Structure 1
């Protein structure tokens, strides 16, 4: 089922979200000081490409630098990315088939708001560890 949902997601928006995140990551790498944001954008882009079966967990080693970086990220890009995912979720939720895709968009909002200090892992690995 995850494979089918990921393929539908890829066709109906996931590819465009991923391309946007990858372009933002490249732009962040051009400006040397924003390289950590570039890594975060690539990480979110991979997650946006294939979100079903993945989940977000906090890195236990993240510290004050991640917190300060997340504040800067929210002000510059995070709020706009979250609004984009929210609007896309509303549009996808208008159809019954689009409801799981809308939920995937909502799942992307927390990591698009504050990506530093987060890790994207297989959902089975997290459930297995409990």
Structure 2
């Protein structure tokens, strides 16, 4: 079932969100100082490409550094990507079939805003 959901997700919004995350990652890599944010953007981008069957958990021991990094992330790219999730989620909720995918988009907004200090793990 999760494979079917991931395929539908990929067609409806996953690919475009993935491209947004990868654009943010490339920009962060070019700026060199922001490479840690680029790594986080690429990691979350892969999650946005194929999210069903995975979940986001807090990293144990993530402290003040990740919190400060998240503040920088929100300023640089986080709010743009979160806005993309919001708009995609609203547009998907217009149809009955799209409601689960819209909800999935809404669930990804917190990790889009604050990616540092989080891990993506398989649900089992």
Show the counterpart of 1:128: none
Runs of 4+ in 1 over 6 A off after TM superposition: none
Number of equivalenced pairs: 124
Give unpaired runs (5+ residues) of structure 1. Answer: 125-130
CA distance in 1 between counterparts of 2:32 and 2:15 reads 27
Cα distance change on mapping 1:80 and 1:23 into 2, 3 Å: closer
Show the counterpart of 2:32: 32
1:119 aligned counterpart, secondary structure: strand
Show the counterpart of 2:79: 79
Show the counterpart of 2:60: 60
1:28 positional shift? 0.8
1:23 positional shift? 2.0
Give unpaired runs (5+ residues) of structure 2. Answer: none
TM-score by length of 1: 0.91
CA distance in 1 between counterparts of 2:42 and 2:78 reads 14
Q: Deviations over 1:27-83 (max 9, x none)?
A: 211111100100110011100000111111010121211010101111222222212
- Tell me how large the CA RMSD over aligned residues is: 1.0
Q: Report which stretch shifted further, 7-16 or 78-87.
A: 78-87
Write the mapping of 1:1-130 to structure 2, written as runs, cut at 5 A: 1-124=1-124
